[in-house]
């Protein structure tokens, strides 16, 4: 259940009460332990909770970190009747959800996402996992949290880059829903003085779009692939930057991936050029440019061949014929994909 919170203490208390458990654990990373843990420490039901803290950033979303969480759960007496609360961004909710899903063959877990990205994407929908062998989210399972508690007051702890990172997923949700949502998103000021009340309402709309799609297709056999708009290219771009040792926030890679895949949508299935240009202008203004060369196209293409949406070695894209007109399982030639990268680099 997704809970839009105006009183995080009350929501946590009620959510924990619904999950019968013997021991309670809270997973944080080094950043959320410092910035967000104080916001829930006064909750009475958490007084005896055991906290596990891992390193921050996506570079820690690894098998070694996962093993550390399993080890701490075991050392601290977790059983298959225990409960794990994941307090953090997408890395924490992805890894924590996977740890919970596999420890003792699965324990219950609750997500309290603390970043905009995790609120509108990672924490909702039941995808869990870790990066492996240089690839994003290569190992994981589908297993939804018992509850996801969204408290947009936590967004005030974020810097502008993390706001932008999450907003890219909201922009994707606007593109796959309707023109009204999309237009509101590209008009909203995310780089100046943010209207957090309005942003909170927009988060609710964005989460509802994702929930509706996930409910219809929980295991990504069909329409849930709509949520991968921007991600076939985006994950490859993200993996390239990780390989270079200069990782970027996930949402930045998704934003650049949207440029790529809207270009393909225009050239292959007739997405309106004016709407593509407006979206590209918004992305370039707020996310800047990704620096890479044409000599790296082959590496990017190789990363894309490992995308989990592929079938029989064919790279699958989610494209749009219009805003809200979703075309899943679209293919492109290698030449078309390289043209897409040209467009991202040169406009």
For the domain that residue 128 is a member of, what is the CATH number? 3.40.50.1970
Q: Are residues 180 and 268 in the same domain?
A: yes
- Per the structure, the complete domain to which residue 302 belongs is given by 160-346
H and E: helices and strands count for the chain: 14, 10
Q: Does 310 have pLDDT greater than 90?
A: no
Asked whether residue 66 falls in the same domain as residue 184, the answer is no
User: Based on the domain organization, do 87 and 147 belong to the same domain?
Assistant: yes
Q: Mean pLDDT, to the nearest integer, of 255-275?
A: 98
Mean pLDDT of 312-322: 91
Lowest mean pLDDT across 155-159, 162-166, 293-297, 322-326: 155-159
| Helices 179-187 and 160-175, packing angle to 10 deg | 160
Mean per-residue pLDDT for 2-6?
Answer: 85
193 burial type by CB count under 10 A (0-12 exposed, 13-18 middle, 19+ buried): exposed
Residue 225's pLDDT band (cuts 50, 70, 90): very high
Residues 238 and 325 in one domain: yes
Among 132, 157, 182, residue at a domain's last position: 157
Q: Which residue has the tokens 């949502």?
A: 181
- Give the Cα separation of 30 and 53 in Å (integer): 6
| E strand intervals along 140-198 | 147-150
How many domains would you assign to the chain?
Answer: 2
Domain edge (last residue) among 101, 134, 157: 157
Q: Is the pLDDT of residue 333 over 80?
A: yes
pLDDT, one tens digit per residue, over 92-149 is 999 999 999 999 999 999 999 999 998 998 778 888 999 998 888 889 999 999 999 9
Amino acid 327: pLDDT = 96
Q: Is the pLDDT of residue 155 over 90?
A: no
Domain endpoint, select from 109, 141, 157: 157
Which one, of 131, 142, 330, lies nearest residue 235 by Cα? 131
pTM: 0.85
Q: Do 232 and 106 belong together in one domain?
A: no
Same domain for 181 and 303?
yes
Say whether pLDDT at 267 is over 90: yes
pLDDT at 126: 86
């Amino acid at each position: 259940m997704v809970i839009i919170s105006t009183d995080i203490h009350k929501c946590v208390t009620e959510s924990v009460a619904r999950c019968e458990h013997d021991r309670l654990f809270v997973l944080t990373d080094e950043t959320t332990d410092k910035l967000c843990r104080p916001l829930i420490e006064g909750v009475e039901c958490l007084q005896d909770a055991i906290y596990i803290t891992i390193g921050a950033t996506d570079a820690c979303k690894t098998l070694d970190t996962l093993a550390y969480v399993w080890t701490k759960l075991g050392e601290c007496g977790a059983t298959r009747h225990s409960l794990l609360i994941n307090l953090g961004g997408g890395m924490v909710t992805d890894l924590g959800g996977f740890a919970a899903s596999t420890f003792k063959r699965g324990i219950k877990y609750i997500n309290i996402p603390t970043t905009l990205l995790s609120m509108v994407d990672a924490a909702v929908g039941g995808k869990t996992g870790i990066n492996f062998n240089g690839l994003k989210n290569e190992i994981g399972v589908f297993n939804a949290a018992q509850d996801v508690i969204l408290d947009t007051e936590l967004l005030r702890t974020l810097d502008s880059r993390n706001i932008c990172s999450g907003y890219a997923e909201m922009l994707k949700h606007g593109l796959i829903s309707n023109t009204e949502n999309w237009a509101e998103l590209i008009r909203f000021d995310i780089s100046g003085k943010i209207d957090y009340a309005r942003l909170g309402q927009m988060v609710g709309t964005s989460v509802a779009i994702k929930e509706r799609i996930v409910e219809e297709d929980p295991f990504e056999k069909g329409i849930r692939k709509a949520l991968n708009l921007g991600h076939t290219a985006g994950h490859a771009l993200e993996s390239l930057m990780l390989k270079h040792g200069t990782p970027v926030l996930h949402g930045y890679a998704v934003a650049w991936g949207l440029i790529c895949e809207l270009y393909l949508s225009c050239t292959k299935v007739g997405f309106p050029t004016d709407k593509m240009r407006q979206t590209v202008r918004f992305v370039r203004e707020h996310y800047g440019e990704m620096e890479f060369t044409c000599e790296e196209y082959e590496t990017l293409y190789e990363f894309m061949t490992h995308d989990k949406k592929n079938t029989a070695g064919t790279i699958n894209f989610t494209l749009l014929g219009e805003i809200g007109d979703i075309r899943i399982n679209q293919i492109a030639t290698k030449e078309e994909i390289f043209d897409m990268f040209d467009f991202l680099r040169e406009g």
